[in-house]
Amino acid sequence: MGGAPTDPGLTRVRGVPTLLIVHHTPSPTCQALLEAVVSGATAPEIEGVDVVRRPALSATASDVLAADAYLLGTPANIGYMSGALKHFFDQIYYPCLDATQGRPFSYYVHGGSDVTGAVRAVDGITTGLGWRRAAQPVTVTGTPDKSDVEACWELGATLAAGLMG
């Protein structure tokens, strides 16, 4: 089964742990960070983990309930997470509140000069959901360098590897 990304139309395979990557990717910089996360999560060493990607505006409570861990990605917009990721949280918060307590997650944030507000917002909402941070988030300001991209690769690999049986 390997760690190849799942076609978005496929249904989750029973018994196979699923990493759900929910992202808002409005720029080439955010795209590069997303690609690094996905590459890490689907590295050849990651076996038996289903990786599902969803844009934040189309991710649903069903996606969240079907997953075993979450990796979130957002730009920092005007001192906050993207409106798309906020919309995602608004849609899934109450339907997923009880059923997803304790599930592992992490995230990455990119901002032009400051990501503090976005980090505070994601931390606040995920704390309210009762999710357990499984890896240190990656925060990037300005143009990402090689170490930022590598940190995103490691983030994806860490969350996916944590689901291996």
CA separation for the pair 52, 22 (Å, rounded): 9
pLDDT at site 6: 46
Q: Please, which residues bridge with residue 74 across strands?
A: 109
CA separation for the pair 68, 13 (Å, rounded): 12
E strands, 24-103, are: 50-55, 69-77, 80-81
Model's pTM, two decimal places?
A: 0.91
∠ CA 155-156-157, rounded to 5°: 90
Joined together, the tokens standing for residue 64 give 């969240």
CA separation for the pair 68, 82 (Å, rounded): 24
pLDDT at site 143: 95
pLDDT at site 13: 52
Joined together, the tokens standing for residue 159 give 């969350």
pLDDT at site 15: 84
pLDDT at site 161: 98
pLDDT at site 141: 97
pLDDT at 8 over 90: no
Angstrom distances, CA of residue 108 to CA of 5, 21, 23, 95: 19, 11, 9, 24
Q: What is the pLDDT of residues 80-129, one digit of tens each?
A: 999 999 999 999 999 999 999 999 999 999 999 999 999 999 999 999 99
Q: What is the pLDDT of residues 11-26, one digit of tens each?
A: 445 689 999 999 999 9
Task: Report the helix count and the strand count for the chain, using DSSP H and E.
Answer: 5, 7
Q: What is the pLDDT of residues 52-70, one digit of tens each?
A: 999 999 999 999 999 999 9
Q: What is the pLDDT of residues 131-140, one digit of tens each?
A: 999 999 999 9
**Comparing C-alpha atoms, which of 82, 67, 163, 72 is closest to residue 126?**
72
CA separation for the pair 75, 18 (Å, rounded): 24
Q: Which residue has the tokens 């861990």?
A: 69
Q: Which position has the higher pLDDT, 117 or 8?
A: 117
Q: Establish how many alpha carbons lie within 13 A of residue 40's alpha carbon, considering only the half-sphere containing its beta carbon.
A: 22
